[in-house]
Amino acid sequence: MASKPDPVDALLKSGPRRTQLPEPAERARLRTGYGLTQAEIAEALDVTRTTVAGWEAGRSEPQGTTRAAYAKLLDGIAAQLAAAAEAPAARHLPTSAPEAADASAVPGAPAGEQASGSRNTTDRAMGDAADVSASYRPAAERATGPNRPAAPRRTMSPGRQPAPASSASPDARFVNGPLAVLDGDGSAYARGGLVLDCPARDIPSLVDWTLAEANLGAARLHRNGRDADPLVVLTDSAAARFGLPAELTDRRTLRLPEDHKVVKQISKAGWRLTRRGFGPWVRIYRPVQGGRRQCVQLAILPWGALDSRAWGSADQLQPAALAQVLGTYASRVITPCGSAAVAGLELMTALRPPTRAVSDEASGGWTSGPVPGSLTHPVDPAPPEAPDEHPVVAALYPRGHVRTHDEVLDEEAFDWFRDPQLLTDGECVKSFAVGIDVNTAFLAAANRLIVGLGEPVHVTKPVFDKKVPGCWLVDLSGIALDPRLPSPFTPHGSPPTGPAWYATPTVAYAAELISTQGLDARIQPTEAYVRPEAGPYLDPWYKVLAEAYKETMADLGVGSGMAEDDFLTAMEGHKQSDPGPVAVLSAIKATVKGGIGKLRERPQGAKYRSGEPWSALARPTWRPDIRAAVISTARVNMHRKMVKLATAADLFPIAVLSDCAVYLSDGPSPLDFLPHTPDGRPLPGGFRLGVSPGMVKHEGTQDLMWAVKMLDQGHNPARHIKGTDAAADGE
């Protein structure tokens, strides 16, 4: 009678024995690299899957003969992976060989890198997405039998070399990255071509699998924050697999009814839903026990989880390519957790969490305390800062009252165009109207911006101090500027006509103009709401998003330090290349704009009544004063550069829309009108072509008569300079 084969040998086929175990993170890497699940390891060693998970997380260690067998297994895996890596013609390996031999080269949101704010250079290799997607076939066409690989693997295209492995060890808890895109046959695609086998047939089982086996998630971005919850994205076929409808019938609430069978399954299994219910973005959780968080996010693609305004056509990508796109965004920004606007706000909190554990001398234990420099609790706005629906406004004014400029803060982006009667003879002989656009203007404005952290303090007859954030009631109508420029004090560009409320950056710029241009005016506020507790709250947010923006532009062939003509050439076709980086770039831009807009999120829903509080007001990050400061700074930055071109080169815009300015030019390129110094450098203090936030790119060109016709008809040429309507930044 034949003896029963050794289960370890059945997995390894061959391999030497080693007496010492590798580090926990290396154990997980070897297993996933070889294409094994924790369940397979557990079966071979006659232990539970939870035990194997504990070994890989470093919570426990195997003992005795089990330890020896586990060491033998890992040693054999390491030897086979090393041999595969050294093979001169790796692409000729048989298809049954472990394709995940290069899995260690795939950055899966390493804990150390995300926590420090640095980024792995391999994250920029977005080209893998196209190769990974090439091997995809619809679920109905793929094999689902026992011979199908049931664990992560990496697929590389012929001739493409794997990215170098990160020098930092990935967190063993999240070795498979921050998220997975689940297809209808149970294939869960992670970043870099990894594929996990998900056996779940209902939502509660999917949640259990995600938390117990998938090893998905991302490490916290701040030591006082929390790890990112794992995200599973459901394709159309995956949604059908779990009994979800193809679309939501309730278009008002955009969620499943509470009596839907899936919602009942979740409740019966002891899981809970957040207040937003089971909609396009779902959080399924259990209350924290023993300090352990149990929460999984789901994104339902057929229900519009990936808004095309932010993600373009990303939801049409094949699962492997979509996992690459979302994984790149997660590693450079944050794991998606809702709309791009929600992600922008979540990133602020993740980088500057409100509380931390502090020692309680009275009890000898630990208690919750504020994090210096963070927004720690909700605060009411000053009356001028509050939108019309806010309870603060309702308490001051009767229903239906329309607030005037001396009652409300109106810091918005530019929407101005010049009176065609003010076009000069020299401008009328130009041939083209050329638009230039500031890269991520709101993001650039957030850099080193001092904003209020606490409650506003009301002051009468204050002395203006540009270092103190707040809003000021002051009359700036006496500051006269060239009518060929928009007024920097109003969104519409017309000069103010009397006292009005302004954010600190606007008043500081007024003082700057008075000083530099010798204007006969004074800054004399009559009233102010100031915030003595202040700091550069948005600095980490700026740094993460600015780096993500530049890295993604580099993926598209537009790098820092390019010559101006090379930059313009690269920008002409950067969106016609790989759709993956294009989608990531669009999402990053939407994260910036939406995050700033969310700082003054207004009430939604047909049932809302003006004057009642709404849920967003309970957030520490509901801060319309910070939004106003960012927009004010962006508008001032724009105007300062326009003044520089006007004084140094007699160049005046004919239209401005948010961060886009249109100038008349002899040629169709920005290089045909942007001034330079005698040695060929861009004019200091003016608009400068380049990829970094705050620099400018070519927005579009039209002929002179088109621009004049737009002005005559009362339309803003900056809105249409690209040939399509341009949306102003903001909410």
| 318-362 confidence digits (pLDDT tens) | 999 999 999 999 999 999 999 999 999 999 999 999 999 888 888
pLDDT value for 62: 86
Instruction: Provide the pLDDT confidence category of residue 617 given band limits of 50, 70 and 90.
Output: very high
pLDDT value for 251: 81
What is the enclosing helix (H) or strand (E) of 363? none
Token pair belonging to 83? 């041999």
Task: Tell me what the pLDDT averaged over the chain comes to.
Answer: 85
Helix (H/G/I), strand (E/B), else coil: 494: coil
Query: Any bridge partners for residue 415, and if so which?
Result: 657
Question: What contacts 655, CB < 8 A, 6 or more positions away?
Answer: 416, 417, 418, 661, 662, 707, 710, 711, 716, 717, 718, 721
Find the mean pLDDT for residues 508-530.
92
* pLDDT tens per residue across span 288-322: 887 788 999 999 999 999 999 999 999 999 999 99
Instruction: Provide the pLDDT confidence category of residue 2 given band limits of 50, 70 and 90.
Output: low
pLDDT value for 80: 85
Q: Which residue has the higher pLDDT, 61 or 588?
A: 588
* pLDDT tens per residue across span 268-289: 999 999 999 999 999 999 998 8
- Select from 18, 173, 5, 119 the least CA-distant residue to 546: 119
- Select from 274, 563, 593 the least CA-distant residue to 442: 593
pLDDT value for 395: 95
Residues in the chain: 731
Helix (H/G/I), strand (E/B), else coil: 637: helix
State how far the Cα of 582 lies from the Cα of 553, in Å rounded to an integer: 9
What is the enclosing helix (H) or strand (E) of 444? helix 441-446
Report the chain's terminal Cα–Cα distance, integer Å: 76
Token pair belonging to 173? 């808890």
Q: What is the pTM of this model?
A: 0.78
- Return the minimum-mean-pLDDT range out of 147-161, 354-368, 387-401, 702-716: 147-161
State how far the Cα of 445 lies from the Cα of 79, in Å rounded to an integer: 53
Residues 228/335, Cβ–Cβ less than 8 Å: yes
State how far the Cα of 688 lies from the Cα of 672, in Å rounded to an integer: 13
Task: Report helix, strand and coil shares of the chain as percent, to nearest 5.
Answer: 40, 15, 45
* pLDDT tens per residue across span 214-234: 999 999 999 999 999 999 999
pLDDT value for 140: 34
Q: Which residue has the higher pLDDT, 86 or 204?
A: 204
State how far the Cα of 692 lies from the Cα of 674, in Å rounded to an integer: 18
Task: Report how far Cα 89 is from the mean position of its chain's Cα atoms.
Answer: 39
Tally the C-alpha atoms within 13 A of residue 391's C-alpha that lie toward its C-beta.
9
Find the mean pLDDT for residues 204-219.
96
Query: How many other C-beta atoms can be found within 10 angstroms of the C-beta atom of residue 695?
Result: 18
> Could you write out the DSSP letters of every residue in 15-81?
----SS---HHHHHHHHHHHT--HHHHHHHHTS-HHHHHHHHHTS----HHHHHHHHHHHHHHHHHH
Helix (H/G/I), strand (E/B), else coil: 128: helix
What is the enclosing helix (H) or strand (E) of 124? none
Question: What contacts 309, CB < 8 A, 6 or more positions away?
Answer: 590
For 490, 493, 514, 529, 626, the CA distances from 510, given in Å and listed in that order, are 12, 14, 6, 18, 19
Single-letter residue type at 636:
V
pLDDT value for 3: 60
State yes or no: pLDDT of 109 exceeds 60.
no
* pLDDT tens per residue across span 491-500: 999 999 999 9
